[in-house]
């Protein structure tokens, strides 16, 4: 273990003890190789009590440990299939409100990225940031033609910081897998690996710009969502420049109320936007917390959403997309047999899973939900219950589904904050049913055929020479079929073992028969006949036992 990782682990231990999380450390044996440090440290001796819940104490500890641990806590808050509800709820409160770094440093970094003075590209660059997050911060500026823009720049030294903290997270995860029995279910290394992919994607601002461009194209001309323009000439891997949104933050309910905003329409539009992204576009903004959403109220009766921060997006495999839609429809139609069948067909549970047992489990999980009014039924809760059924039947949770669930919970929470009477099902059902009908319609089938026609044409063009060559090789006696030699070796070994068992059975039977004849003919010595019979029985029994095993 490198010294810098060891030093960071000791620092983490100090923070955990300060926030009264030492029981967690002891229970999980995370510091088993370093336990002497834990027990001799003065932080352990002089602990002070706290009235905060364990979830709140964990959240505060992550905030103190720094930006990367805050981001990790946010990612973990989506794993409600793994975490207790109280901890998941607290981790979901983690925000990117971290101290900004000096604007002069931001200016110098941008100029280094451009290779020229900032004033030659942007004017009125404001060194006081508009917002600061754990990975980047945002400044206001203006293009030469007068258009208002925001400039997003990565924090200095962020890549080195993330590399060290990822190394630390992998070390902690490895300790957990080695010393903590519960890690077999939680799979900490796999969780860190998922987080690593997410955080590394956020470090590439060109990727974020591409995400924004795709989302804008998907909603071109739509009255539901506005996506700011990306100014590609000014974007780099560590600098993003895009149109500045002059809207009202979605959390400023008082201001929206003063302007006469139609909250019912706004809430329903949010649900429609989400399901349109997931099922029609198969490309969804996966970080839709209130800090990333604004409202354009040029017409308060027809409010329009505007989104920012496109570092995290999600897509679904086409098969998962279809099965997810069918699962939602089947659950709300209370067709639990269909839900169970879909889980098996999708590969979300092992193929040997009994459908009747799965059906019973889904019924037990979902029936209590329907005791409440339909407007109170949460899609996110339904999805979470389905994940619980997966866990019981040894199903594998798909990371993209967890990302979708987290986004759905955000959308639902936001929608019901705007309009408590929001009926999620009433809003989402038309989108889902329309999409399903479109998938099986003649137009949808023709579209899929047209999309796959170029590939099919290439295959057809390649077939004639391949067939001709195979016929020529067959005529010359040179046609050979490639076989898996390992499979043949296994087959030969099994055949040889079967032959050896048969031989032992025959020899054992012959020896027993010889013993019978020895005693029947009253031959001497008698002990020799017993020896023959015993040998035959042992030989036969060994062959029989081997066959049973």
Please tell me the distance from the alpha carbon of residue 409 to that of residue 294, in angstroms, as a whole number. 18
Please tell me the distance from the alpha carbon of residue 547 to that of residue 509, in angstroms, as a whole number. 16
pLDDT number for residue 214: 96
Say if residue 243's pLDDT is above 50.
yes
Helices (H) and strands (E) counted in the chain, each on its own, are: 23, 11
Percent of the chain topping pLDDT 90? 23
Please tell me the distance from the alpha carbon of residue 293 to that of residue 305, in angstroms, as a whole number. 7
Q: Specify burial of residue 337 (Cβ count, 10 A radius: 0-12, 13-18, 19+).
A: middle
Most confident stretch, 6-15, 276-285, 358-367: 276-285
| Backbone Cα Rg of the chain | 33
pLDDT-wise least confident of 36-40, 52-56, 175-179, 455-459: 36-40
Kindly state the DSSP code that residue 21 receives in the 8-state scheme: -
User: 0.75 cut: is pTM over it?
Assistant: no
The three-state (H, E, C) secondary structure of 124-149, written as one string: CCCCCCCEECCCEEEEEEEECCCCEE
Please tell me the distance from the alpha carbon of residue 168 to that of residue 66, in angstroms, as a whole number. 13
22, 262, 287, 309: the catalytic one is 287
pLDDT number for residue 442: 62
Residue recorded with tokens 């969780």 = 191
pLDDT band (50, 70, 90) for residue 50: low
Mean pLDDT of 483-506: 60
pLDDT number for residue 548: 46
Most confident stretch, 260-264, 308-312, 494-498: 260-264
The backbone torsions φ and ψ at residue 117, rounded to the nearest 5 degrees and listed phi first, read -65, 140
Please tell me the distance from the alpha carbon of residue 372 to that of residue 368, in angstroms, as a whole number. 8
DSSP run (H or E) holding 243? strand 239-243
Tell me the residue length of the chain: 549
pLDDT band (50, 70, 90) for residue 419: confident
DSSP 263-308: HHHHHHHHHHHHHIIIIIIS-EES---GGGEEEE-SSTTS-EEEE-
Q: Does the annotation count 423 as an active-site position?
A: no
* Residue-wise pLDDT tens digits, 138-197: 999 999 889 999 999 998 888 888 888 888 888 878 877 777 665 665 677 877 887 787
């Amino acid at each position: 273990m490198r010294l810098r990782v060891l030093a960071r682990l000791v620092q983490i231990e100090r923070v955990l003890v300060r926030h009264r999380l030492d029981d967690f450390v002891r229970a999980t044996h995370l510091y088993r190789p370093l336990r002497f440090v834990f027990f001799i440290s003065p932080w352990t001796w002089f602990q002070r009590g706290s009235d905060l819940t364990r979830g709140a104490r964990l959240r505060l500890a992550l905030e103190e440990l720094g930006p990367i641990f805050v981001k990790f806590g946010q990612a973990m808050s989506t794993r409600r299939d793994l975490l207790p509800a109280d901890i998941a709820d607290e981790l979901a409160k983690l925000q990117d409100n971290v101290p900004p770094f000096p604007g002069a440093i931001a200016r110098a970094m941008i100029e280094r990225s451009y290779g020229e003075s900032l004033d030659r590209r942007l004017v009125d660059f404001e060194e006081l940031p508009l917002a600061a997050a754990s990975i980047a911060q945002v400044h206001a500026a203006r293009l030469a033609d007068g258009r208002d823009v925001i400039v997003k720049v990565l924090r200095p030294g962020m890549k080195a910081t993330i590399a060290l903290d990822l190394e630390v997270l992998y070390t902690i995860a490895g300790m957990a897998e080695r010393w903590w029995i519960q890690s077999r279910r939680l799979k900490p290394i796999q969780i860190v690996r998922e987080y690593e992919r997410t955080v590394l994607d956020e470090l590439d601002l060109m990727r974020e710009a591409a995400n924004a461009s795709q989302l804008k194209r998907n909603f071109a001309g739509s009255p539901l969502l506005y996506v700011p323009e990306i100014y590609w000439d000014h974007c780099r891997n560590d600098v993003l420049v895009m149109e500045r949104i002059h809207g009202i933050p979605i959390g400023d309910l008082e201001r929206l109320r003063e302007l006469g905003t139609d909250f019912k329409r706004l809430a329903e539009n949010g649900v429609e936007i989400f399901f349109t992204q997931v099922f029609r576009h198969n490309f969804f903004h996966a970080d839709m917390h209130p800090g990333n959403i604004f409202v354009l109220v040029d017409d308060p009766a027809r409010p329009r959403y505007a989104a920012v921060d496109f570092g995290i997006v999600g897509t679904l495999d086409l098969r998962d997309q279809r099965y997810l839609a069918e699962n939602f429809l089947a659950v709300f139609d209370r067709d639990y047999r269909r839900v169970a069948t879909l889980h098996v067909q999708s590969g979300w549970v092992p193929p040997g899973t009994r459908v009747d047992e799965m059906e019973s489990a889904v019924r037990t999980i979902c029936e209590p939900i329907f005791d409440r009014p339909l407007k109170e039924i949460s899609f996110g809760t339904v999805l979470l219950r389905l994940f619980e059924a997966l866990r019981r039947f040894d199903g594998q949770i798909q990371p993209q589904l967890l990302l979708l669930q987290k986004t759905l919970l955000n959308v639902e929470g936001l929608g019901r904050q705007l309009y408590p009477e929001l009926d999620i099902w009433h809003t989402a059902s038309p989108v889902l049913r329309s999409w399903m009908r479109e998938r099986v319609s003649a137009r949808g089938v023709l579209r899929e055929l047209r999309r796959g026609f170029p590939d099919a044409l290439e295959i057809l063009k390649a077939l004639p020479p391949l067939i001709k060559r195979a016929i020529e090789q067959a005529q010359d006696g040179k046609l050979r079929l490639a076989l898996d030699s390992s499979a043949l070796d296994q087959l030969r070994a099994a055949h040889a073992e079967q032959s050896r068992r048969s031989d032992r059975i025959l020899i054992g039977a012959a020896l027993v028969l010889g013993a019978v004849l020895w005693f029947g003919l009253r031959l001497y010595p008698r002990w020799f006949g017993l020896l023959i019979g015993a040998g035959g029985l042992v030989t036969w029994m060994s062959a029989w036992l081997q066959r049973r095993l």
